[in-house]
Amino acid sequence: ETGVTQSPTHLIKTRGQQVTLRCSSQSGHNTVSWYQQALGQGPQFIFQYYREEENGRGNFPPRFSGLQFPNYSSELNVNALELDDSALYLCASSLGTGVNTGELFFGEGSRLTVL
Amino acid sequence: DAKTTQPPSMDCAEGRAANLPCNHSTISGNEYVYWYRQIHSQGPQYIIHGLKNNETNEMASLIITEDRKSSTLILPHATLRDTAVYYCIVPSGRSSGYALNFGKGTSLLVTP
């Protein structure tokens, strides 16, 4: 186990609803990244938070938003859910950010189904 | 951002070495090569990373060519539990927080 915990593990929503996913990072880690993994695909980078500030963002629309709290835990919020948002959402924590950040520790993910 | 190319699938007999290749011909001088794997229904797991020199840890060895345009991940004695998708990654630049672009990876099947 990596020490990164995500909740909920599974959830079902309907189109147009909003969802909040939560992530507790490994102790001592100040950076959290979120990834979306559709069925049969590799994880796609959504965004990263470093010391409570967004530090990078992938090609996702603004309805995907996030927060990082002083204890470095994080939330991913998705508004106006679409069917294509159905995926496994992965959270990863690390210490710092940089060209040689090293190992990212991933949680087991939250599986979202949008009906 | 440097992109990577991997074969979609490979087989390996249990107990033999698994050699997983990766091409990253556009890699720049200060970009690292990372390897992760993902066992079905689990989060990705870090394996190893390197810049120029070959690297070894308890899980695997990473061989990087002198021109840095390709690398090979070696699992010296593959077991059935090594069956997974293996991703070779060159992180994005600073503007993207050095994010990992996973691609589709190589699906490794270790057979008895």
DSSP-assigned letter for residue B5: B
User: Apex CA B85: angle with CA A44 and CA B108, to 5°?
Assistant: 155
Q: What integer pLDDT is reported at residue A99 of this predicted model?
A: 61
- Compute the mean pLDDT over every residue in chain A, rounded to the nearest whole number: 92
Q: What integer pLDDT is reported at residue A96 of this predicted model?
A: 74
Q: Among candidates A86, A95, A89, which has minimal Cα distance to A107?
A: A89
B102 contact residues in A (CB cutoff 8 A): 35, 42-44
A42, A101, A108: residue with CB nearest B98:
A101
DSSP-assigned letter for residue B96: G
Test B46 with A90 for CB contact under 8 angstroms: no
A50, A90, A102: residue with CB nearest B43:
A90
Residue with the bigger pLDDT between A97 and B57: it is B57
With cut-offs at 50, 70 and 90, classify the pLDDT of residue A2: low
Dump pLDDT digits (tens) for B22-60.
999 988 888 899 999 999 879 999 999 999 989 999 999
Residue with the bigger pLDDT between B73 and B41: it is B73
Q: What integer pLDDT is reported at residue B81 of this predicted model?
A: 95
- Whole-angstrom Cα distance, residue A38 to residue A20? 18
- Whole-angstrom Cα distance, residue A92 to residue A49? 10
Q: In chain B, what is the straight-line distance between the N-terminal and C-terminal CA atoms, in Å?
A: 39
Test B32 with A100 for CB contact under 8 angstroms: yes
Q: Which residue of B has its CA nearest to A43?
A: B102
Q: What integer pLDDT is reported at residue B3 of this predicted model?
A: 87
Dump pLDDT digits (tens) for A78-87.
999 999 999 9
The full DSSP string for A14-31 is: -TT--EEEEEEPPTT--E
E strands, A25-62, are 31-37, 44-50, 53-57
